[in-house]
A and B are shown apart, each in its own frame.
Chain A
């Protein structure tokens, strides 16, 4: 993937084409465009959040999502209709991320808490679309605490929890994305949730809740 070409595309998308034909698509391209918009574009928020979790940086997340869609659009013919388009896009994004960032990124399992804090506060004002539904222990946990708790987990746990609990992928889809056997996914979820629970309980105790007796809301 040539990132310079993408940058050029976003700043002046039609540079290479004569102005007269800039918006003219063939019939086949029109169908592809429509299908792509129906199938793929709706997952943009999910992809953006996944990219944020991976990169911890809004600019990198922006580029990563843009490159993912460029690649997806280019190879949309290879997408098997009837399969999970969201899973397909996530896999492309993950591959892109590995190629682009992994070489000089944080070591897996090592989390920079200050980076997370800075990151969180830098985009905290962005609109959030989650809602408060419950009272008690549940309500006492602040959005940013849950976010922090999840981000404080080692990457291998954080990732499967995110893919499973937030994005709702099946074990099979997750196994494919993280390139590990289903059994590994299962045990990472188990251990990750245990770690997460103790982090969340710490927060809840701070708010005065006795987490040992709380029933599921």
Chain B
């Protein structure tokens, strides 16, 4: 199920999975729910920007011979 949501199935597996969920309402709704959860996390998670001081120190690092 997770593999289907994440596009990690082989072509054959994908075909079999699609055929199955067309006739199995339980798996179909399970699949939809898992998809929804994934997209909520993806779109809604709070992301923080790295502080400018950190970015600067990394850039400085690459200007310094080791």
Contact = CB atoms under 8 A, between A and B. Distances in A.
Query: Dominant SS at the A interface?
Result: helix
Interface string A3-25: 00000011001100100011111
B2 interface: yes
B64 interface: yes
Given A25-B65, A164-B6, A62 B41 contact: no
Given A41-B58, A165-B41, A216 B49 contact: no
Query: Dominant SS at the B interface?
Result: helix
A73 B66 contact: yes
Nearest to A134: B43
A161 interface: yes
Given A45-B50, A164-B6, A196-B37, A150 B45 contact: yes
The number of chain A residues touching the other chain, given as a range, is: 35 or more
Interface of B: 1-3, 5-6, 8, 32-51, 53-55, 57-66
Interface of A: 9-10, 13-14, 17, 21-26, 29, 33, 36-37, 41, 44-45, 47-49, 52, 58, 62, 65-66, 69-70, 73-74, 123, 126-131, 133-134, 138, 141, 143-144, 146-147, 150, 161, 164-166, 170-171, 186-187, 189-190, 193, 196-197, 200, 214-217
